[in-house]
Each structure stands twice: as C-alpha cells, then as structure tokens.
Structure 1
Amino acid sequence: MRRLALPAVLSAALAASAIALAGVPAGAQAAPPPRPGELDVLFVGAHPDDEAGGLSTYGQWNEFDGARVGVLTVTRGEGGGNAVGTEEGPPLGLLRENEERRAVGRAGVGDVHYLDKVDFYYTVSAPLADEAWGHDESLAKVVRLVRQTRPKVIVTMEPAPLPGQHGHHQQAARLATEAYFAAADAGRFPDQTGRERLRPWSTGRLFHTGGASGPTGRACAKDFTATTQAAPTYGVWTGRASARNGGKSWAQVEREAQRTYVSQGWGGFADVPADPERLGCDYFTQIHSRVPYTLGDTEPTAMLEGALRPAKGGLPLGTEFFLTTEAFGVNAGRAFTVTAHARSQRPLPGGKAALSVPSGWTVTGSGDLGTIGSRERTATFTVKPPAGTPNGRVRLAGTLTTARGSGQTATPVEVRPGVTGAQEPLPRVADFDAWAGKTGVPALSGRMKRVLTLASGKSRQIRVDLANTTGSAQEGTVSAGLPAGFGADAPSKPYRLAAGAKGSVTFTVTNTDASLPTSNQGGAGGDYDFTVTTTSASGTDTQKGGLELVPVAELPKAPTAPVVDGKEEPGEYPGPELDLSRVWEGTACDSAADCSATGKVTWTGDALHVLVEVRDDKRGTVLGADDCKRHWRTDAVEITVDPRGDSENTSTTFKTGVFPGMADGRPCFERDADQHQGPGEQTAPGMRVASTVNAPYDGYVIETSIPFAALPSAVDPARMGLNIFVYDSDTQDKVGQTRIGWSTWGGVQGDPYRWGLVSLPGHTPPPGMPGTPEPPVLPADAAASAGSPESIIQAARTGIPLAAGPAAPPSRTARIAGRPAVSGGAVTFRLAATGPGTAYAHVWDGRLLGTRKIAVTRAGTRTVTVPGASGVLAVAFEAKGGGTASSVARLSG
C-alpha cells in the first residue's frame, strides 16, 4: 500500500493534539478549543474533494471570523479513479482521506468525519445510493454527528437530480437536510438522547451549494442572478486576500488546496487569475433557517448571521424566528395561513411579528407574541393573494421586533392555478419531489425541467399529470404545443376532476421528421421544448416540457460470427455505421484526426458483436497490465447495454470498458458502474476482445464479442438500449480530455434512458435468461475509520467517536495503558480492556509504518507488538455489541 505522506508540520500538530488527550506529555502545543470537536459550520458531502469548491468561503470564515469549520464525508471515494497509483478499494479510500485532510487544512479545517459508507460508482440515482448506504443507519449517523458537534450552520450539496448530478451528492444532501430536522427532534433516534446522553440540537441555518451565476470582482456578491427568487441566495467573493497565506487571494489558496487531490487528476489544475477583480464568488442557497437574519445582506458572513453571529437588528444569539405556511402551493383569490414562530434563550419582552407580502395581497392578524422565552410563541396571519395574481414563486418576509432588538426571516410560496397540468416526470424527479414534500422543504421541488426521451422517427406515450387544487369540480382541456417535426394523436384532450382530485391525460407523440438532430446536438442543448396548456374555469396553466431525441438503429443478424481479431473483414458487420464522434464531455476535438470514431454492431444467436474504429493523433497513458480498471483515465472504449431498454439507472445494465493495449501489448476489459463490476474474465465470462493499435500511431480498432448470457437479463428484440463511448486522453497523467459517443449528453454514462435504442429483428433470447435483471452486485468493501490512523488521532483529540458511531461503553472498552516501548523497529504496548471486542493498532508518522488487528475476548491487559518505530501509536477499539474508543501515544526512542 502506498505510504500516506503528510507535511511534517501537520503530522506533528495532529499527533501532539491527540497525545495530549491520551494523557501523554506532548510538549508545546496550541490550546484546544473550549469544547473539543464542537463546530460552527459543518459541510456534508459524499466524497473527498466534494467540499473543494467552497474552501475559499470556509477558509475566509475561519481566518476572519474565527469559525470552526468541519467536514462530514459519507464515503472515502473508493470508487473513484487513481491518477497516481494502482490502489483501489480501501487503500484508495485511505489515500483520498489523506488528500482531503491536507486540502481542507489549508482552509483551517481541522476535523473531517466519515460515515464509512462505500463509494460504489458514478450514478445519477439517489435512490440507488440510499439503498446501498442504508437510509436509516446513515441518517442516524449524521444525526448523531450533528448532535455531537453542534454546528450552527450546515452546508451541503445540491440535493436535486439536476442533469449530471451525482446520485451520491444528491443522497448526501438529502441526509444532511433530514438530519437538520431530525437532530432537533428528541423523538428521533431516542437511543441517542437516552442511552448515549446526547442532547437534541437545532442548527440555525441550512444551505446547499450553487444556485446562482454572476460577474467577476467583488460585485459578484450582490449583482448575481439566482436560479430562484424565492430562496435567499448568497455570494462570497473569492478574491479576498488571506494574511495568513502571504496575501494570496482565497481563490489562489483554494486552487492550491484542490491540487492536493492528485489521485483524481487535480494536480494539474491551472492557476486562477492573479487579478482579484477577475475572480468570482462561491454561491450558496438557503434551504431552511430557524434564526433571524437580514434579508439582502451581501457581506461575507451573511450566511452566519443569526446562527454564529447575532442578528444585525440586535436580537441575541439563541433567538429563533421562522415562518411556516398552511401549504406551499396557494391559489390566487384564496386565503391561506402563515404562522410566525419565535423562541429565545433569554427573555425578549414586547415581541411582535409582522408579515410583508407582495403589493395587492392582504394580510390580517395581530402578530402579538408577548414576552418571548424558551417556550415557542406563535402568531398566525391570514394571507390572500388577489384574483389574477400571476403564477410563480413568491417570497413572504417576516419581521420580529422586541424591546431588545429585531430580525427578519422569509419563506416561499408558489401561486398555482386552480388546475395544473405537467408532463410526467422522470422516476428520479418524482422521487425527489416526493422526498422534498415529505421532508418539509417543498420549495426544493419543481426545479427540474420535465424531459422525456423519444426515439428518432418513432412514437411514445406522454402522460400529463393533472391536479385540481380548488374546492369545486373542474373541467377543461389539455393541449400539447409541440415544436416542428413532432405531432400528437390529438391537438387537445378533455378532462374532468372532482374537487381536490388528481388525474391525467395521455398523448401519443411522434417524431415526424427523422432528419432532426439527435442527442445534445438537437433542439436547445439537446431539448426540443414544448408547452402543456391546461384550461379550467379558474384559469389557464401553461408549463414547459422537453423531448430529447435519441438515435436508433436496426441491427441485422450476421450471416456468420465475426472473427474477433481487431480488424474488419468484408461482410462481417451488416447494418449501419454508427457515428461516435459527438462530444458529450470535455474539450472539443481539434479535428477528426484528433479524436473521432465509428462503430458497427451485429449479433448472432449467442452474442453481440461490436467493432469500433478510433482516430486519435496522440496516445494517452499506457497502463500497466495489472491496472485494467477505471477506463476513463486514458484512451478506451465503453460499451453499454440496457437489455430491456427501460432501466432507471445503470445497476440493471451491462457496461464494459475496453483498453486497446496495456503495457504488455494486449487489450483488456472490465465492467464498471453496472449490474456486476470487476475484471472482465470474472464478470463477463465468454466475452472476447481483440485490438489493433496503428503504428505509427493515429488510432486503433477494438473488436469484441459479448455473450447474451453475460447481460443482466434477456434482450427485448424490439427495444434494446445501446451506447458506445470513446474516451480520449492526450496526456501521460491518467486524466482524460474528451469524451465522444453515439447518444450524447452530459453525464449520459449514468443515464440509460438517454442511450440509443436498437432492434434485433428475429432475435430469440438464449434459454434460461431472466426476463427482469438480477439484483445488482455492488461493491461493499469500504475503508474503515478504525483502519485510519488519521481518523483515530482526530477521535482521540476531539472525543467524537469514529465513523459517527456511538462511544464504547465503559464496561466494554480498551485503551493504551502506560507508555509504549520502541525496540528493534517495532512498538510494544499494553492494551487494557474492560470487555470483548477488536482492536486495531497502527504506527504512523505521516506514513503508515505498521498495523495489527487484535481480537480481545475478555477483560484484562495484554502486551501487543506492532511494526514501526517512530511517530504515533494510534489504537481504535470496536466493542462487541457496538461503540468505539480511540487512544494514541507519541513514540520515543
């Protein structure tokens, strides 16, 4: 395993702080915080490096405002690539942990916690991540860590399934959002508030990253364009100079930190502009707030107001003030209620809430709250938007005034017509919108454009979902305003809905012009937009939808099976030649000679046969024969098959990456991010691959035969999903530059619904093939905190148990006893145990020098020897029945 090197200063600081907690003299060291492990700001992400885009902001808060910022990372990124070695699985996870700790340390972040969940592969499906990680256990861990670290502000990732958004990122943000609410509720995870003696904790404010774009220069904090006007959005300028970093801009410091993630190919990131006025902002959007703040504040600390810094109006820290509404969706001309909630740790006499609404709206209600104390006080208002109010999202603002100060808050509502009609959502969008409503953040829903794919020149049914939000029956028509080149079975269709009822109408839509460009070359950014118009007695609703054309092909059966030899013989591949030269990610090709490709696909009774011819002017890294994995790092071809053409995510598909030649001169193949990942010979038995690499080099040919029996299920001969991608790298640093393919959109490798569709006329599936895919085989071997000296040292320093788990009970724990002895290149120490469990001992000096696993069957003290003679002895103990303990000791001699 690669040794994990840390700068000597950081290594010494971590060791010193840990040893101080272990009761061993450590010499001069920085004074610990008043409450070790407690945080002001907690970032929640899925992988090491997810926090990297906000390090400028977190570093500023730490340097200029003294904020203690920590990170919670769900996985250690075992499923990512490795541009610096051959480690994968847990060893890669520990390597990436080391990178993350060094990177965030540049922003003054000292604590990084992990949930020890597996990073299984890139997917755009949050439900798949939820299934793999275990929702209840993962949420319990996040809630426990929030209760242990007591952050005033939580920042997380974008939780919505926006195009290309990693499903792990989505799920990490969902967990952070759910934990924000659950951690404050004593009824959630009662074992934590009972047996573990943790107190409920109400974090003041919750944000997700992104949500705006803006200019460069310091004006980016106030002149940006937000994606939603209803939620407060903030910009933090990255051009601010850092005194503790020699006057560099925080954008420069962030870039230096990002280069620490070398395993992910970030070491070569270009410099940011030296002129601060050419630097932009980090943007954040508020998901929820419990505390008062100043609307429209553009200062760098605006997101901390009310939670970490007192409200500008003078309300003391510990004051809560927020609004709730009877419903998120409201109707013009129909009244609804808004409730103001207030509470304070110190008495605030003369409390009064006021509500600010758009011009023409009416508000009734006194807003009197009296003296605000530790018990929540509420005031209810009746709000009525006038008839004819335009549909859309509106911000309602609240003001709290007391004898000791004032503050503001806001909440959004969405004005909706009496009857709404919307194109059916993708399953992941429907799932997210349902989650947002159930979790109490409905404003997060409805932000994803409704899109559906349609095979070029073909037809499909499109459902329009209807909802009557009025108190009376409604009827009317639904029409689909389709763009040129598309038609429907009827211009409009009638409906009738009872009061408060839901329903639908369905159109059969046809692409009448098969010459229209497909994939991301069609329409606007790949979307052929249309409108859904729904009429009713209460008004008209118009909503946008989008159709995405995917390419199609008919694949004739080969008269005889092609010879898998890396070259095409006449007549081997009947049928069309597929254009694989469309760019879907990365830098555009300079010319066809730089990167372009064609493909041919045919089939026989037992296999698919694929031939891909690639033009390429410069060969990327030739990997070692033992490094046949992570095909996106260099020149390679990826072939994806969705047997039934209906997979929601790639866990029910077949995906293989094929390298044209390794260091031994032979091609190789593997499976990745699909129903069963791993070496090709093990996961796709019977699959054969051959290649020809041109000399002098100007490209290569890959030919393969994929047995139908290797697919997750039987093929639907009328509708099989297929895609072919080509990864092009012109460097020797294991980093790709360009991705081209047949059916192309950003993130399309994780989007089976956007793959091309093919038919295999006359195909009969082999006997015994299942009609539905077998359950996916997902990697489960994650790096564990008990195996990480750095995590153990942090746990000993902070008192926060490993992996956001509980502490080992006193009756079942084990720790280092006395001073270890160093002799003959090894460390000998006494391990004192009060009960059974497993201990993991590591010797670490910025490198992992030795490790040993010790089974503890009963209470007592035993002598243990571990290889290594310098640095720190770090011991983690996992108690039988649950809970961990961490101890460390500095080594001498």
Structure 2
Amino acid sequence: MLWAGCTALGVVVGVLPLAADTARAGPVPTDSLGRTDPAHTDVLFVGAHPDDESSSLATFGQWQERRGLSTGVVTITRGEGGGNAVGTEEGAALGLIREGEERKAVRRAGIRNVFYLDKPDFWYTLSAPLTATVWNPSPQPPTDTLSRLVRLIRATTPREVVVMDPRPFHQHGGHQEAARLAVEAFRLAGDPTAFPGQITREKYPAWKPSRLLATNGGFPGPVGEKCGKYQAEDPHTGLPVIGVWTGTTARGHSGRTWAQIERDATREYATQGFASLPPTVETPRAKLPCEWFTVLADSRTPRTPATREQPGLRPLYADFRAWARRMRMPWLANDAQPAYPANPSTSVPAVAEAPVVDGVAGLGEYPGPALRLTHWEGARCADEKDCAADVRFSRQADDLYVFVRVADDIEGYALDAAADCKRHWRTDAVEIALDPQGRSDDTSTTFKTGILPFTKDGRGPCAERDADNRQGPASRTAPRLAVASAVTDPYKGYAVEVRIPLDGLPAPADPERLAVNVLLYDSDTADRTGQTRLAWSPFGSAQADPYVWGTLRLLGYASPPDQIVQPARIPQEAARSSDSTASVEQARRTGVPLAGGPRRPRREG
C-alpha cells in the first residue's frame, strides 16, 4: 500500500477477487499454542447505526460460506436517534433494543462479533462535520472515535475493511463520518507512529489491511448472475467497482438465495419498520441484482484516477473535498456537489387581522397563492384522491401563518399524543422547516416542526420539533406555537393550520432570505411506516438539506432588534456496552475491551 510512504494512494485496475488472499496481510494471528486469535476477523465492516450492514449481508454470508472468510461489524452508535415502529422507547433504551436486532440479523449471515463504540446517535443530518462534534464532545479529544477505530483494526487484524459511501449528497451525515473515519483508520492502523500507546502500552500490532472497499448502492450495474463478473468503473471517481450476486443459492438453506436470507435478516429490524417488508423476495432469481462495492484501495497494481475540480462548492462539499485531499484521494470529490435546481420562492403577504388557527382557511386569511407540493420520495400518488397537498402563507406582525390542505384516501396509524408524539414520518404528517437566515449548512440552526393531524382516541393534532435547533414536544420546545387541524368525515384528507412566532426562531428572520420547506408524509398502513412523501422543494434529502429549501420574502417585515441567536441543543444520550449482556460476553470471549476502549497493559514475564 502506498499510503505508508506518504505518497499518493494506489488503487487497482479491473475486477478483483471477492476477497483478499490470505498471504497479502501476513499470517492469521495466533497465540503461543498456535490457536487463532479469537478477536481476528478477515473482513471488518464499519457502519454508523444498527442496520447499516444490512444491504451487504448477502455478500458477507457468501464470503464466509465459499471462501471461509469471517466478517466482524463495527457500529459506532446504537441508533438512539432513530424511529421506533414497535414501541415508545427512545434514547438509550431504544439503542439496546436495536443492538439486539442487529445481533440477530447479522447471525443469519454467520457474523458473530459486533463492536459498538458507544457514540451518541442524534437525528438525521447530512453533515459529517456536525456528526463529528457530537461523537467527540469536549473534554474528549476530537480524535476519540478515530483512535477507537484504529484500535479495533489492530485488535481484529482484518485483511479487508468495508466502509459506507463517504460522499456527501443525499447521504446521512453519520454514514459519511463513519466512512471518513474508517478510511483514515485503514491508513493509520499500520503506522506505528499513529496512536503509539496502543502499540507500546497495550501491545497491539501495527496492522495494515490489504484492501479498502466502499458500498456503492447507487451503482447502475446489470442484474443477474453475470453481474458478479461485470468489469466496471464508478462513473464519478473512475475507481473499479466489483459486484457480488445476491441470487447465489446458500448452502444448507433449503435452496434459498442469499437475497432471501438477507431479507430475513433485514426484517429483524422491526423498530425501523423493516418488518413490514414482504417476507419473500419475489424478484425472479435471474433478475436479482449484485451488491456493489467501490475499490478505494488495494495493495496490487496501483494507479491514480483523474481528478476533476468543481468550482463554487458550498461549505459541506468544500469540507468533503478538503478531507479527500488530506486522505490523498482527491478523486473521491469528483462530482460530489450535484447540480442543484433553482430554489422556489414566493412572497408572503401581510394581513391586517391575524388568522384564526382553527384548521380552516377563512376569507382573506391567506390571500397569497396556493403552492403545490410535488412527489419527493417513495411511491408516487396514484391520483389526486390518493395523496395531494398545497400550502399557503401569510404574516401578521411577528407571526408566520401556514395553512396546508391535504387530500388523502386512507388514514395512517394514529399515534398516542401523550406518549408518542415524535418521529412524525412514521404516519400521516406535515413538516414545516425554516432556516431564518437562509444560510444554514445543516439543520442544527433551523426550526423544524412535525405535526400529526390526528392522534389516538380522537385527541386531535400534536406537534413536536425534530432534527433542528431544539427537539422535543412543542409544548416544551416551542410553547408559543399554535396548531389546529380539521379532518374530514368521512375521511378524504385533512387541513393543518400553524402559527409560528418568527421571534422564536433560532436567529432573526431575514425578510429577503428566510428559507422554507413544507413536506407531507403519507402512510396508508397501520404498521407505522410511511409510503409517499411530497415537498414544496423536492430534491435530494429535502427535509434535511437547507440548500434545497425555497425562499419566503416577508413583505414589510423587520425582525426584533433584541432577538438573539440560540445555540443548538443536540441529544448526547447513548446506550453503553457495559449495560449490554451480549457486549460484555463478547468482550470476555474476544479479549477486545468494551466500546473499543484501551486494554490494560500486559504484564511482562
């Protein structure tokens, strides 16, 4: 590998074998009696949350079955910030449930060891820099997560490291940051000057894996058995891409394909709604796809792909390009920033009298145009009765009024307003997102509210804030927010009306740059999973990317001169490995300390 010499990183040309040859990373570590080190794994996957490995389990299962290659999984958080489709648990309690789901899922692919780093998971963000600050809060050093990953590579001595896609667009910031850290740990684990105490005090070896792969779920390769032999290059980076066919029949599994076994594993993630996936993979075997991996680095036949510079990068993309350059992999930033479409815009009329927040658009309350919400994600609406929505705005003094009218044919699950007014995307809901200055790079400096138009036992609407400057029930995080809804009987849809005090936003609202998106979540089931999403500005991760949001011009508005900028409050609660019986038993069995922490120095003699 060329990294050790601090020169350009090499990558291999062409299609590679499914996994590294044994000789490439030296002999498998053994103890004084010749027994294999119980911590050793041939392949190490690094993800951010439980279920991140789920789309690669068909590959890992085949590698073990056909080549005898073991896989271990590193999961940096336990997904405490995710949804819960089966209960009301959140935070650390949810994290421990998700650990149990992950351990059951990966065992179906023959994976025994999952190493958790006990880092906090918060909400869905597109920002790797924000994720890095949450994972390494003061007084921890900013390299704390990195040092733990380096230690785990040295402890588990893998030949291959598999990471997620580090590229920033339409990609969870946790996934990005996990991939960035794993790429850097791949480089540093073999350098004895990197975190030297792990070598001198803890007696880990400096270990250099032979190959680095990144999952490439968006690669448009062929399907069918031949996809595994398809010679391909990633269209953005020029790096080689390899495929592993999911239609291979698993041995000793009654003729089931690895695609079916992976589906069985994925359905273990009930909290994430994956149990609602069809139990049987209906795709004909001849049309089953490959799982694709980009070869980021290999110890053989190196070359350097071409680098294409993009001008005018926005801050998140400029940060990624700077990281790629530091890693001596500048080609990873090729085409990283997409061609964003023009942002929609509208003027918000001021009204003399404040609208009555009652779920009805009264005469003269919303004199502006009705703005259409269009398809963003999920299944498209079958027709206007299936799902459709528009939004209107008006302003009176320091209050912004929003009226959303929704056509819908089937009521989603009615959540409990008292115990479960959160994670609104699980059922029918409206989300309103505002970036006061129109300059945010992530949603920690924005105001976002999710509104359930109906709740359990006919208790009416409820509102919460999620993935923004504050999170939690609106009664606590936005006490002056007013919400009302009107649900048709018989059910044909609903309307939501909201008053948002502009002087309660995280920063003063710029009357020329206030950025807004309005989103609709449509669910036609009772299993707390959504099917269709609409948005006023429907591009990429429309709920999480302020670069996408439209602009509201507040005619005649001036923000209060004494309004302050509020610092973000982001959850730091994380489940601990010491509270997990499975993690404690694994640490005893493998000798790898909990949470990737340091081990006690070995006594001499």
TM-score normalised to the size of structure 2? 0.90
- Aligned partner of 2:28 in structure 1 is none
* Residues 669, 274 of structure 1: alpha-carbon distance in 2 compared, 3 angstrom cutoff: closer
**For 1:522-547, what per-residue CA distance to the aligned partner results, in whole angstroms no more than 9, with x for missing partners?**
xxxxxxxxxxxxxxxxxxxxxxxxxx
SS at match of 1:255: helix
Structure 2 residue aligned with 1:278, among 277, 282, 287?
287
Report if the CA contact (8 A) 2:307-2:334 is conserved: no
Distance 1:590 1:450 in 2: 29
Tell me the CA shift for residue 276 of structure 1: 2.6
- Aligned partner of 1:111 in structure 2 is 113
**Residue 261 in 1 paired to residue 263 in 2?**
no
Matches within 5 A, 1:276-425: 276-290=285-299, 292=300, 409-414=301-306, 422-425=310-313
SS at match of 1:181: helix
Letter in 2 for 1:139: L
* Residues 223, 273 of structure 1: alpha-carbon distance in 2 compared, 3 angstrom cutoff: farther
Tell me the CA shift for residue 224 of structure 1: 5.9
Tell me the CA shift for residue 807 of structure 1: 2.5
Distance 1:426 1:272 in 2: 41
SS at match of 1:794: helix
Letter in 2 for 1:246: S
Report if the CA contact (8 A) 1:614-1:700 is conserved: yes
- Aligned partner of 2:499 in structure 1 is 705
**Residue 221 in 1 paired to residue 13 in 2?**
no
- Aligned partner of 1:436 in structure 2 is 324
SS at match of 1:757: strand
Q: Larger Rg: 1 or 2?
A: 1
Distance 2:307 2:103 in 1: 46
Letter in 2 for 1:571: G
Letter in 1 for 2:62: Q
Tell me the CA shift for residue 803 of structure 1: 0.5
- Aligned partner of 2:26 in structure 1 is none
Letter in 2 for 1:186: P
Letter in 2 for 1:126: A
- Aligned partner of 1:155 in structure 2 is 162
Distance 2:295 2:117 in 1: 25
Structure 1 residue aligned with 2:436, among 634, 638, 643?
643
SS at match of 1:206: strand
Tell me the CA shift for residue 274 of structure 1: 6.3
Tell me the CA shift for residue 809 of structure 1: 6.3
Report if the CA contact (8 A) 2:202-2:601 is conserved: no
SS at match of 1:172: helix
**Residue 693 in 1 paired to residue 522 in 2?**
no
- Aligned partner of 1:556 in structure 2 is 349
TM-score normalised to the size of structure 1? 0.61
SS at match of 2:306: strand
Tell me the CA shift for residue 273 of structure 1: 3.7
**Residue 762 in 1 paired to residue 556 in 2?**
yes
Matches within 5 A, 1:517-596: 548-580=341-373, 582-596=374-388
Report if the CA contact (8 A) 1:425-1:451 is conserved: no
Moved more, 269-278 or 53-62: 269-278
**For 1:618-672, what per-residue CA distance to the aligned partner results, in whole angstroms no more than 9, with x for missing partners?**
0000011210000000000000000011111111100000001111422110000
Instruction: Identify unmatched segments of 5+ residues in structure 2.
Output: 1-33, 137-141
Structure 1 residue aligned with 2:416, among 606, 624, 635?
624
Relative contact order higher in (CA < 8 Å, ≥ 6 apart) = 2
SS at match of 1:752: coil
Distance 1:47 1:679 in 2: 25
Report if the CA contact (8 A) 2:273-2:529 is conserved: yes
Letter in 1 for 2:318: A
* Residues 100, 561 of structure 1: alpha-carbon distance in 2 compared, 3 angstrom cutoff: same
* Residues 685, 810 of structure 1: alpha-carbon distance in 2 compared, 3 angstrom cutoff: farther
Structure 1 residue aligned with 2:508, among 706, 714, 735?
714
Distance 1:684 1:795 in 2: 44
Instruction: Identify unmatched segments of 5+ residues in structure 1.
Output: 1-31, 293-408, 453-547, 812-893
Tell me the CA shift for residue 784 of structure 1: 1.0
Distance 1:238 1:83 in 2: 28
Report if the CA contact (8 A) 1:605-1:764 is conserved: no
Report if the CA contact (8 A) 2:349-2:555 is conserved: yes
**For 1:41-78, what per-residue CA distance to the aligned partner results, in whole angstroms no more than 9, with x for missing partners?**
00001111111111000001111211110000111111
Structure 1 residue aligned with 2:472, among 678, 682, 692?
678
SS at match of 2:317: helix
Letter in 1 for 2:298: S
Distance 1:204 1:617 in 2: 55
Distance 2:349 2:307 in 1: 53
Distance 2:451 2:307 in 1: 52
Letter in 2 for 1:119: D
Structure 1 residue aligned with 2:185, among 142, 167, 179?
179
* Residues 33, 165 of structure 1: alpha-carbon distance in 2 compared, 3 angstrom cutoff: farther
Distance 1:212 1:603 in 2: 46
**For 1:577-625, what per-residue CA distance to the aligned partner results, in whole angstroms no more than 9, with x for missing partners?**
2212x01000000111111111111112222111111110000000112
Distance 1:674 1:808 in 2: 41
- Aligned partner of 1:72 in structure 2 is 74
Report if the CA contact (8 A) 1:212-1:226 is conserved: no
Tell me the CA shift for residue 225 of structure 1: 4.7
Report if the CA contact (8 A) 2:202-2:602 is conserved: no
SS at match of 1:725: strand
Tell me the CA shift for residue 776 of structure 1: 1.4
Letter in 2 for 1:279: L
- Aligned partner of 1:735 in structure 2 is 529
Identity %: 48
Tell me the CA shift for residue 810 of structure 1: 8.7
Report if the CA contact (8 A) 1:239-1:276 is conserved: yes
Structure 1 residue aligned with 2:520, among 696, 704, 726?
726
- Aligned partner of 2:583 in structure 1 is 791
Report if the CA contact (8 A) 1:675-1:778 is conserved: yes
Report if the CA contact (8 A) 1:230-1:412 is conserved: no
**Residue 207 in 1 paired to residue 213 in 2?**
yes
SS at match of 2:326: helix
Q: What RMSD over aligned residues (CA atoms) do the two structures have, in Å?
A: 1.8
Report if the CA contact (8 A) 1:43-1:51 is conserved: yes
**For 1:479-522, what per-residue CA distance to the aligned partner results, in whole angstroms no more than 9, with x for missing partners?**
xxxxxxxxxxxxxxxxxxxxxxxxxxxxxxxxxxxxxxxxxxxx
Letter in 1 for 2:320: F
Between Structure 1 and Structure 2, the one with more helix by share is 2
Structure 1 residue aligned with 2:41, among 15, 39, 42?
39
Report if the CA contact (8 A) 1:214-1:224 is conserved: no
Tell me the CA shift for residue 676 of structure 1: 1.0
Tell me the CA shift for residue 104 of structure 1: 0.5
- Aligned partner of 1:599 in structure 2 is 391
SS at match of 1:155: strand
Distance 1:432 1:767 in 2: 36
Tell me the CA shift for residue 193 of structure 1: 1.4
Between Structure 1 and Structure 2, the one with more strand by share is 1
- Aligned partner of 2:30 in structure 1 is none
* Residues 274, 166 of structure 1: alpha-carbon distance in 2 compared, 3 angstrom cutoff: closer
SS at match of 2:46: strand
Report if the CA contact (8 A) 1:620-1:730 is conserved: yes
Letter in 1 for 2:316: R
Letter in 2 for 1:600: R
Letter in 2 for 1:411: R
SS at match of 2:543: helix
Distance 2:385 2:35 in 1: 60
